[in-house]
Amino acid sequence: MSDFANETKAVIDAMVAYKVDGIQKAAASAKAAGMEATEIIEAMGAGMSEVGIQFQRGKLFLPHVLSAANGMTAAVKELEADLPIDQVGTTLAKVCMGTVEGDVHDIGKSIVSTMLQCGGFEVVDLGRDVPSPDFIDQVVNNGCTMVGLSALMTTTMTVQEDVIKLLKEAGVRDQVKVLVGGAPVTQAFADKIGADCFSESASEQVDKAKALLG
């Protein structure tokens, strides 16, 4: 148990309560009590994970997740002066997200984008009906190391495989992790087309994307 168990709990509780000022106050109180900035950020990360669980269980909703993430961002900014220089302003990875060409369904992909952003990833959301070469462009020219491909229809899920083929043709397949999802997509399909990751839900996607980082 940490020496700052009460402060840690207060920070986690503030994250779950998702109020920006509440999170900032809890972080400031923890800092005033002598807790290290990195420990406070770890506690906020634990709180964000709990927020993700509550979201998955239908107890918290998208605006609440975003508000918690916003509060965490604001609190981290105030802690930046106390952080090691190599931890300031870092993100886990840069992900380009999009619904594949021919598919105009947006909401599921947008929820995953939001959850990844809240989970510490930098997200480039290309929108929906995205031409396949645009994903490759993001990898080659914009530094994305993860590609998220969404499809809601059986007629468009095959485009996920097309994008993977284009990544291979461009010689960058080994440089990126490919995440696939959408209602008709299954683990078996993801395996068949050579994707790196399939998830049933947005929250699960964040956990799996983090696991892919090694």
Which residues contact another protein (rule: CB under 8 A)?
57-64, 66-67, 70, 104-107, 110-111, 113-114, 117, 123, 125, 153-155, 183-184, 186-189, 200
Bridge partners of 179? 148, 197
Cβ 87 to another protein shortest distance, Å = 22
Q: Which is nearer to another protein, 47 or 182 (CB)?
A: 182
- We find the least distance from the C-beta atom of residue 185 to another protein, in angstroms, to be 8
User: Residue 32 or residue 211: which is nearer to another protein going by CB?
Assistant: 211
CB nearer to another protein: give 12 or 69.
69
The alpha carbon torsion through 205, 50, 15, 33 (nearest 10 deg) reads -120
Q: Which is nearer to another protein, 29 or 56 (CB)?
A: 56
Q: State the nearest-atom distance from the C-beta of 66 to another protein, in Å.
A: 5
Residue type (1 letter), 161: E
Query: Min. distance of Cβ 57 from another protein in angstroms?
Result: 6
Indicate the residue among 24 and 70 with the shorter CB distance to another protein.
Answer: 70
> Closest separation between CB of residue 95 and another protein, Å?
13
Per residue, the 3-state secondary structure of the chain, as one string, reads: CCCCHHHHHHHHHHHHHCCHHHHHHHHHHHHHCCCCHHHHHHHHHHHHHHHHHHHHCCCCCHHHHHHHHHHHHHHHHHHHHHCCHHHCCCCCCEEEEEEECCCCCCHHHHHHHHHHHHCCCEEEECCCCECHHHHHHHHHHHCCCEEEEECCCCCCHHHHHHHHHHHHHCCCHHHCEEEEECCCCCHHHHHHHCCCEECCCHHHHHHHHHHHCC
Nearer to another protein, 108 or 194 (CB): 108
CB of 37 to another protein, least distance (A): 23
